[in-house]
C-alpha cells in the first residue's frame, strides 16, 4: 500500500512540470503584449524596453523558462506584475475561499446524491413513477449552466423571499473578520470563538454551495445507481445468498463495492469544480482563486496566471490520488493490481 501511494505521488511531479511548461510557453507564444498594457500605448521606446527588461520578457524563451523553474524550486512563482506582492501570498489569500466553497458543495452533493442514486437503482417496478422522476432529474441536474442557476437562486431566495443574504462576498459589512490562523474563514472564526462571524460566513456560503451542489448531484446519482446495479447482479452476491448470509450483510458489501466508482468520480468532479468555480464565484462576488485567475488573465499578469494554474492542477491531481487510495482501501481487487 505504501509503495502504491509513493508511486502515485511520483507520477504527479512530471505531470505538474508538463502543465507548468505548457502554461508558461503558451502565455509567451500567444499574441498578447503585457508590456504595452503596463506602460500604455503612448510610452516611448526606452520606457517600453526598460519595462520589458524588468518583467524579464526580453530574454530568450529558454532562459525565461529556466528562471521560472528556479523560482518554483525556491517555492514561488515570482511577484505579481500588478501588485508586486509574491504570487504565493496572493494565492494563499484567495484559495481558501474556493476550497471551502467546493468542498462543501461536494459534500452536500454526496449526501444528497448517494441516497437518491440508491433509490434510482432500486426504484423499478412498483416505484416506477418515482424512478422516472429521479432519472429525469439526474439527467437534468448533470448538465446545467451553474452561473445561470446561481442568478435564478439569487432572484428566488434573495429578491423574492429573503432567506439568504445579498450575494456580495462571504461576510456582511457589519461582521468582524477573524484574525487569520489557517486562512479558512469557517475554521478561523470557530478557533477565535466568533460564533456570530461563523454563522454569517456560513449564511453567505449557503447559496453558492447549493448552486454548485445542484449541478454536480446528477453525475453522482447516476454513478451510484450504475455501481449498485452492476454489483447487485455480481456472482459473489449470488454466492453469498446461496451460503445463506443475512441480507443485511450482503447489502453492506454491495454498497461498499458499488460506491467505489463514486469515489473516483468525486475526485474528478472536485477537480472540475476547482477550475470551474470561477463562474459561481463571479455571480456571488466571492473573491476566490477562480476570480483571481480570471482577473490575472484579463490583466495579462503572467506570474499570477502561472501560479494559479500550477496550484489548481497540483491540488486536482492530489485529490485524484486520495480518491484512488480510498478506492484501493475499499476494493481489494484494485489493491492487488
Partner 1 sequence: MALAEPIPSGDEPSPVIADEEIILGYPSLWAHVIHSVRRETLPKVGMAIVLVTIFLAILGPVIAPYNTTAATNSVNQPPSMAHWFGTDNNGLDVFSRVLAAPRIDISTALLATALALIAGSAIGLFATFYGGRLGALAIRVTDTLQAFPALILAIIVVVLTGHGLATIVLVIAVLNMPLYARLMRSEVLRIRDRAFVEAARASGLSDMAIAWRQVLPNALAPIVAQMSVTIGWAILATAGLSFLGAGVPPPTPEWGSMISAGASEIILGQWWPSVFPGLAMALTVFGFAVLADTVQTALGREG
Contacting positions for partner 1 (CB under 8 A): 15, 18-19, 22-23, 26-27, 30-32, 135-136, 138-140, 142-149, 151-152, 154-155, 158-159, 166-167, 212, 215-216, 219, 222-223, 225-226, 265, 268-269, 271-280, 282-283, 290, 293-294, 297-298, 300, 305, 308-309, 312-313, 316-317
Looking at beta carbons, which pairs linking 322-326 to residues 24 or more positions away fall under 8 Å?
322/267, 323/263, 323/264, 323/266, 323/267, 324/8, 324/264, 324/267, 325/4, 325/5, 325/8, 326/263
Nearest distance in Å: CB 233, partner 1: 13
Closer to partner 1 at the Cβ: 23 or 197? 23
Q: Is 316 helix (H, G, I), strand (E, B) or coil?
A: helix
Say how far apart CA 105 and CA 269 lie, in whole Å: 10
Specify whether the CB–CB gap between 302 and 81 falls below 8 A. Answer: yes
Closer to partner 1 at the Cβ: 107 or 181? 107
Closer to partner 1 at the Cβ: 133 or 239? 133
Nearest distance in Å: CB 66, partner 1: 21
Nearest distance in Å: CB 185, partner 1: 22
Closer to partner 1 at the Cβ: 250 or 273? 273
Closer to partner 1 at the Cβ: 134 or 250? 134
Written as one string, the DSSP assignment of 229-274 is: HHHHTSHHHHHHHHTT--HHHHHHHHHHHHTHHHHHHHHHHHHHHH
Closer to partner 1 at the Cβ: 24 or 184? 24
Nearest distance in Å: CB 138, partner 1: 7
Radius of gyration for the chain, computed over Cα atoms and rounded to the nearest angstrom: 24
Nearest distance in Å: CB 327, partner 1: 15
Helix 247-258 × helix 260-283 angle, to 10°: 50
Closer to partner 1 at the Cβ: 175 or 305? 305
Q: Is 275 exposed, middle or buried (0-12, 13-18, 19+ CB in 10 A)?
A: middle
Closer to partner 1 at the Cβ: 172 or 282? 282
Nearest distance in Å: CB 96, partner 1: 18
Say how far apart CA 307 and CA 293 lie, in whole Å: 9
Closer to partner 1 at the Cβ: 125 or 244? 125
What are the cell numbers at 242?
446461496
Specify whether the CB–CB gap between 207 and 150 falls below 8 A. Answer: yes
Nearest distance in Å: CB 295, partner 1: 10
Among 312, 307, 224, which residue's Cα sits nearest to residue 273?
Answer: 312
Nearest distance in Å: CB 6, partner 1: 20
Nearest distance in Å: CB 197, partner 1: 23
- DSSP H helices, 83-145, are 87-122, 128-140
**SS3 labels along 191-209:** HCCCHHHHHHHHHHHHHHH
Amino acid at each position: 500500500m505504501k509503495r502504491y501511494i509513493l508511486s502515485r505521488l511520483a507520477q504527479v511531479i512530471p505531470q505538474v512540470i508538463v502543465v507548468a511548461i505548457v502554461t508558461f510557453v503558451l502565455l509567451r507564444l500567444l499574441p498578447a503584449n503585457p508590456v504595452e498594457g503596463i506602460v500604455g500605448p503612448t510610452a516611448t521606446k526606452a520606457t517600453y524596453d526598460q519595462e520589458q527588461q524588468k518583467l524579464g520578457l526580453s530574454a530568450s524563451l529558454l532562459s525565461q523558462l529556466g528562471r521560472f523553474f528556479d523560482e518554483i524550486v525556491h517555492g514561488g512563482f515570482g511577484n505579481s506584475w500588478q501588485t508586486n506582492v509574491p504570487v504565493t501570498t496572493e494565492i494563499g489569500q484567495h484559495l481558501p475561499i474556493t476550497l471551502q466553497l467546493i468542498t462543501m458543495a461536494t459534500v452536500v452533493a454526496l449526501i444528497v446524491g448517494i441516497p437518491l442514486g440508491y433509490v434510482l437503482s432500486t426504484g423499478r417496478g412498483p416505484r416506477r413513477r418515482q424512478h422516472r422522476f429521479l432519472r429525469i432529474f439526474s439527467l437534468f441536474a448533470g448538465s446545467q449552466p451553474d452561473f445561470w442557476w446561481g442568478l435564478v437562486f439569487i432572484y428566488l431566495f434573495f429578491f423574492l423571499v429573503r432567506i439568504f443574504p445579498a450575494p456580495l462576498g462571504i461576510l456582511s459589512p457589519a461582521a468582524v473578520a477573524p484574525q487569520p490562523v489557517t486562512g479558512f474563514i469557517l475554521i478561523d472564526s470557530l478557533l477565535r470563538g466568533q460564533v456570530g462571524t461563523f454563522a454569517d460566513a456560513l449564511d453567505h456560503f449557503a447559496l453558492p454551495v447549493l448552486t454548485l451542489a445542484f449541478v454536480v448531484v446528477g453525475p453522482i446519482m447516476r454513478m451510484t445507481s450504475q455501481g449498485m446495479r452492476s454489483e447487485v447482479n455480481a456472482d459473489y452476491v449470488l454466492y453469498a445468498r446461496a451460503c445463506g448470509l443475512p441480507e443485511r450483510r450482503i447489502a453492506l458489501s454491495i454498497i461498499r463495492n458499488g460506491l467505489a466508482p463514486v469515489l473516483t468520480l468525486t475526485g474528478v468532479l472536485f477537480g472540475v469544480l476547482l477550475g470551474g468555480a470561477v463562474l459561481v464565484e463571479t455571480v456571488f462576488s466571492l473573491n476566490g482563486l477562480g476570480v483571481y485567475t480570471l482577473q490575472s488573465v484579463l490583466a495579462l499578469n503572467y506570474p499570477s496566471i502561472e501560479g494559479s494554474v500550477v496550484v489548481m492542477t497540483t491540488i486536482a491531481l492530489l485529490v485524484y490520488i486520495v480518491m484512488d487510495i480510498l478506492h484501493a482501501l475499499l476494493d481489494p481487487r484494485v489493491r492487488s493490481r
